[in-house]
Amino acid sequence: SASASSLVGRRTGSAAGEILRQVGDAIAPGVTTDELDALCHQLCIEAGGYPSPLNYGTSPPFPKSICTSVNEVICHGVPDSRVLRDGDIVNLDVTCFREGVNGDTNATFFVGSVDPESQRLVRVTRECLSQAIAVVRPGAPINAIGRAIQDHAEAAGFSVVKAFVGHGVGTEFHTRPEILHYFHPRADEIMVPGMTFTIEPMISVGAWQQRMWDDGWTAATVDGKRTAQFEHTMVVTEDGVELLTLHPDGRWSGDGGQ
């Protein structure tokens, strides 16, 4: 049976999942990332929530309501006047604070028609998240998550970004536990019912190393090759896992699926 906190998490998570879907539906060649930011902001407010990224952090505070990460940008891309072009891939990362808790979810979308290697990258990244979720259950060690992701990404010839991790999420945006997306033998904390965290693998065609832009947020691959990401917030249940950030229709947002 679900705890009261997981009921709240489910309502907030599903709102975040709906917002991700709706902003994703607005992606098209010619649209700017600032336009996607304005839409995300409006939808968070209409849902009775607040966009967690806005003014998050201190060095400097994140200036927008969504992260938009295009092509070689790994994560934390800052919306601006950039125009999306046919053939781009773009990750939208939505976090909504509502009823006192955060729901954090992201997906990667095609802009128009995308080359076959980018299509494969996005599909494999989506599968990495799906296969990681499949190992979440009480009694499992947290490093089973990173093992599942690394095995699948490297079998496809891709690399796992190490600098950014999944995280506990709830009343705080980022808290314990830390969820590595590659296998680390010491990361052997055991999952217990009620643990609520994200898994958010970033998978690259080339190098896994990242470099931050001088805006203090945008992280890009060192070789300029493309990278993709998917994220869900989930809770460990008595017998497995429940995804909190699913869209109410149960389908994942973004591209690379069936």
Binding residues for Co ion (CB under 5 A): 93, 104, 106, 198, 231
User: By the 8 A CB rule, do 110 and 122 touch?
Assistant: yes
Tell me the two tokens of residue 183.
Answer: 């296998």
Least Cβ distance, residue 150 to Co ion (angstroms): 19
> If contact means CB under 5 to 8 A according to the sort of partner, which of ligand MF3, Co ion, none does residue 33 touch?
none
> If contact means CB under 5 to 8 A according to the sort of partner, which of ligand MF3, Co ion, none does residue 30 touch?
none
Q: By C-beta, is 41 or 76 nearer to ligand MF3?
A: 76
37 binds ligand MF3 (CB under 6 A): no
Judged by CB under 6 A, the chain residues 181 through 240 that form the site for ligand MF3 are 198, 200, 217, 231
User: By the 8 A CB rule, do 41 and 54 touch?
Assistant: yes
- Give the torsion sign (CA, 254, 150, 104, 244): positive
Q: Is 80 helix (H, G, I), strand (E, B) or coil?
A: coil
> If contact means CB under 5 to 8 A according to the sort of partner, which of ligand MF3, Co ion, none does residue 72 touch?
none
Q: By C-beta, is 197 or 208 nearer to Co ion?
A: 197
User: By the 8 A CB rule, do 54 and 44 touch?
Assistant: no
Q: By C-beta, is 87 or 169 nearer to Co ion?
A: 169
Separation in Å, CA 17 to CA 22, 171, 202, 251: 9, 18, 19, 10
Which region holds residue 256: left if phi is over 0, alpha if psi is between -120 and 50, else beta?
Answer: left
> Which stretch in 55-63, 137-145, 177-185, 220-228 sits in contact with ligand MF3 by CB under 6 A?
55-63
Residues binding ligand MF3 (CB under 6 A): 53, 56-57, 62, 67, 76, 93, 95, 104, 198, 200, 217, 231
